[in-house]
Amino acid sequence: MGLLNYFFSSTEATAKEMKLDNDAILRIWNEYLKTVSDKKAVVYALRANKNINSNLQELKRLLGLELSDISGEEKDEAEIIADLEKTGREEKINKVRRLKQCLGYAKTKYEHVFGLLQHLHSILQAQMHLVEKLLAGSQDPETLISHINAQLGLEREVIKQIKEIEAVEPFDALFSALIKGEHIIQQMTSREKLLYKRLKKLFVSDVPIKGITSDWAAAVYDAIEDKIREISADMAIPGSNHLYVDFEFVNRPEFVDLVRETIQRLRQKEVSEEMINAFVSLFRAWYNEMPRSY
């Protein structure tokens, strides 16, 4: 199993369980970095329709790393294309860039790195699936090659942000600390994941869904503006007069208190912390990806 596959499939994924030391972790990361520029040349050749089969084999080799894999995953071509076309290329790039706005200052450097690694993992897996379908004999190779190129663009955006981090602090040290479990990013319990799935339709549906959860989301959204005014007046968050203070607040621990207080006002029955955590995760994901015009 690839290192990132293992990391994101476990609630407390540590290299100790994989029997990897710091040198092994950094070797895997550095081997990946060496492939990024090589992939650009290969994808360029594919788009120019040059030596298709040999270049696909080379791309498969470059993707065949210990960082990520797709073993055990079966997807048909239509499903892969549908998944990749759900969101436009520019919007996907903006999501990666917005990660810096939302998490670069609002949480810690580790949450920022964690988010970048999640994007990178998804990108690498998409590239692997596309190459496998092309090697198997796709009915629409041009579309798949176009998607590979788009994924490479997203990958380069992630690497760009990683280089910005490296200008301040060595990225490989942050990466290693996360993988080894020296800095644990709290992930949802199985119960919270179940609640997350149930609540998710509220945030992705185009049709308004009525009910207590909808009222809860609307009340939290309305309360954010009042809370920002209060924070700015009291200077409860240092430097809280900047442009993205709403993003910062929603991603800070204080937001969880607001969510808890809001549901307590709406209903007398106690709401579990698991429900609150699932709601917070969904609301943050939705709020962080909202289009913004400043």
Tell me the mean pLDDT in the region 36-51.
91
* 84-114 residue pLDDT tens: 877 666 777 777 766 665 554 434 577 778 8
Q: Can you give the pLDDT at residue 131? A: 93
Q: Can you give the pLDDT at residue 235? A: 53
b (16+ CB within 10 A) / e for 193-210: eebbeebeebbeeeeeee
Q: Can you give the pLDDT at residue 17? A: 56
pTM of the model: 0.68
Which CA distances in Å does 178 have to 7, 98, 117, 183, 273? 9, 21, 10, 5, 25
Domain regions of the chain by residue span? 3-180, 190-288
H/E stretch holding 287 = helix 273-288
pLDDT band at 12 (very low <50, low <70, confident <90, very high): very low
* Sign of torsion over alpha carbons 145, 147, 151, 157: positive
Q: Which residues contact 273 (CB under 8 A, 6 or more apart)?
A: none
Mean pLDDT for all residues in the chain: 79
Q: Can you give the pLDDT at residue 201? A: 72
Q: Can you give the pLDDT at residue 107? A: 47
Cβ atoms of 29 and 175 closer than 8 Å: yes
pLDDT band at 127 (very low <50, low <70, confident <90, very high): very high
Query: In this model, does residue 176 exceed pLDDT 80?
Result: yes
Report d(CA 97, CA 266) in Å as an integer. 35
Q: How many CB atoms lie within 10 A of CB 262?
A: 20
* 212-270 residue pLDDT tens: 888 888 889 888 888 887 766 655 554 444 556 777 788 777 888 999 999 988 887 88
Q: Can you give the pLDDT at residue 153? A: 92
Burial of 254 (0-12, 13-18, 19+ CB in 10 A): middle
